Structure 1
Amino acid sequence: MQQTDDLARFGKVVAARRARLALTRFEVRDAGGPSDTTLGNIENDTLGRAPSPAVLRKLDQGLRWSKGSAADVLAGGDPVPLESLSNRNSGSSVPGTEPDAIVLPLDEVNNLLGLHRQLNAVHESCRGADPPLDNFDQVIAGFNAFVSRVAGRYATAVLERSGGPGKTLPPMAEMAFGPLLDKPTVDYDPVEHEEQLYRRWLAGRRDEIDDEMDARFRDRWAERERSS
């Protein structure tokens, strides 16, 4: 059985790494880490047991540690951040050190959205083509879903800064993100469904938000405020 002191130390190391990366628990989850609830229990030493091997692997992914680092920390050792491997091997390719996130400039987001509109226009003009365009509808649906996620992440970042409890969303933000906020929520992806509701909550649209979800969103927004 894992010693209580070991689990407490493990939680502190995990929390310190997340703070160093300036990530919320939700962002660690989105980067491949464990759920925000599990991560909170680990950091607060309330998990009640040693994390499973699957959770340890997810911590390596979400916290940008080299493979096996979380297990090493649990055993009393120290983690190896991926950036330290990159520094040691500058100029060479190190397996597993590719970044799991990049900054996408606004110009590139706008370019992507422009291509998205053009592709959909071409798709519309090709309806009923003879011979039919195999899999084109499927490709378009996949691309539309991807663009929606990218636009959604950008909207979330902006709305977290301009919206939230006690704030009135600026008219320009309402105009810019109104169509995205008006889109029906998806049922096939629980994570994306919650992201859509979170954006609506940030914009003051809380018709579909129950008390439990409101409390969860408040915690998420407050954590982002503290880390910004």
Structure 2
Amino acid sequence: MLDQIPPPLAFLADAVTTRRRALGLTRIDLHGAGGPSDSTMSRIENPTVSTAYPRPSTLDRLDTALRWKAGSAAGCLDLRVPTPLEDVAAPAPVEDPPTHNWNPVSVGQRSDPLDFDYVAVPVDVLRDGLMIIQQNLTPADIAGGATALRQLIQFAQKLSAAHATEVLERIGGPGRPMPGFLQITFAPYLLEEVPFDEPSEQQRDDQRYRRWLVGAADDVSGRYERRLDRKLRAIALDAI
């Protein structure tokens, strides 16, 4: 896990390279259109485990040269597909925000507001945490030594697994094409063997679910299909 290219950098590299080629631009052409220098583009399109995240000014220059909607390059670091300017529609009329007046119990939620299993975390928080853990740490860097480092790596694996599940769900499930770089990035979480020491049954089930999402496992009972359907409905409603 520690020697993998961070998914955000791999996603950005794929999006930038694909768009540049679609526009018929060389890296020199891109620089002439207001984009980053050739050397910077080389690092963006061919990231390594030690590649630094692009500066905000560099991301803005990518938007300009690639004719993307402002913020698209930065959105790639959150695994969001960039929006070409030619696809930007006129803004919809502003409507009054909906008002909600409901009782949590009436919509099937638990009566105890502190009783829940999951919490939404911004992608940048997740990414920052993984970047810290992916540094070349040694037992001497951590007060708890080798034991603490092992626990930190295990925590990073859990975060990476959750991240993989989220991305694969948003791609859409079996039968939908998955970018090759994601197959490499998420490889440990798509194998039959769960990449955890003494994995829980939930971790085993999540691993099977991810394998089903990429078409590598069956869903005889239809349980995974229902799980994905619930997630996609929530995404469509902007519930998460």
- Structure 2 length-normalised TM: 0.44
- Structure 1 length-normalised TM: 0.46
